[in-house]
């Protein structure tokens, strides 16, 4: 009987610790993601509002994306990010990786102004599926708004769950979910700057 009571006491103690341990992902960090997702969304929407379909599909040259293609690319990535976050919530916590990715937050945010040009992977290349600009913006907003909702409501510790990529991904090979989301905020800002350059082109329709 004493052994049974001792085992029960240990179980209660372990349960109490699990319930009271402090999360690594703080309220302030959650706020950083929400603010970044909303502000980068609003910046993009400000750039594409009130433009004509001719402006939306204008291409400065054959190698440069139109605003429609840039926006579709962003929407594709937001859909991918949403599903990644949704599913990675249920992966096992991996505290052994926390120290290994420490300090990568600034690397993710710096992508906004990174001069290195990367080719979009096959899965994220725009297909020109949206002849109407409003439709591609609605596609982007659908997943961005769902992502904001997910991050607002999740109980998952974004510092204890990770995404993994192939070894040739370099510094982006392993990131926690907070860092992963920071990158896509920077990605949105980066391409919003690209839209500004398209609009500044001398042949951009007036």
pLDDT in tens, 144-200: 999 999 999 999 999 999 999 988 888 889 999 999 999 999 999 999 999 999 999
Q: What is the pTM of this model?
A: 0.86
**Domains of the chain in sequence order:** 27-199 (1.20.120.450)
pLDDT at 71: 96
Q: How far apart are the C-alpha atoms of 40 and 108, rounded to whole Å? A: 15
Closest CA to 55 of 43, 35, 71: 71
DSSP 25-51: S-HHHHHHHHHHHHHHHHHHHHHHTT-
* pLDDT tens-digit series, residues 14-38: 444 344 468 899 999 999 999 999 9
Contact status, residue 110 vs residue 176, Cβ threshold 8 Å:
no
pLDDT at 17: 38
Contact status, residue 198 vs residue 204, Cβ threshold 8 Å:
yes
* pLDDT tens-digit series, residues 91-148: 999 999 999 999 999 999 999 987 777 777 788 889 888 888 899 999 999 999 999 9
pLDDT at 21: 67
How many Cβ atoms from other residues are within 10 Å of residue 124's Cβ?
Answer: 16
């Amino acid at each position: 009987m004493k052994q049974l009571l001792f085992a029960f006491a240990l179980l209660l103690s372990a349960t109490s610790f699990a319930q009271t341990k402090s999360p690594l992902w703080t309220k302030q960090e959650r706020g950083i993601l929400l603010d970044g997702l909303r502000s980068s969304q609003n910046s993009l929407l400000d750039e594409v509002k009130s433009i004509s379909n001719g402006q939306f599909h204008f291409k400065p040259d054959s190698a440069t994306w139109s605003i429609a293609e840039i926006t579709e690319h962003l929407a594709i990535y937001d859909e991918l990010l949403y599903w990644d976050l949704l599913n990675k919530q249920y992966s096992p916590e991996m505290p052994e990786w926390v120290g290994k990715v420490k300090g990568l937050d600034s690397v993710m945010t710096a992508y906004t102004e990174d001069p290195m040009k990367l080719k979009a992977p096959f899965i994220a290349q725009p297909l020109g599926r949206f002849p109407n600009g409003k439709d591609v913006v609605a596609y982007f907003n659908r997943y961005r708004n769902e992502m904001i909702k997910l991050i607002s409501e999740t109980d998952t510790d974004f510092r204890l769950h990770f995404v993994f990529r192939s070894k040739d991904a370099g510094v982006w090979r392993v990131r926690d979910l907070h860092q992963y989301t920071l990158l896509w905020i920077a990605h949105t800002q980066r391409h919003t700057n690209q839209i500004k350059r398209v609009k500044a082109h001398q042949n951009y329709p007036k």
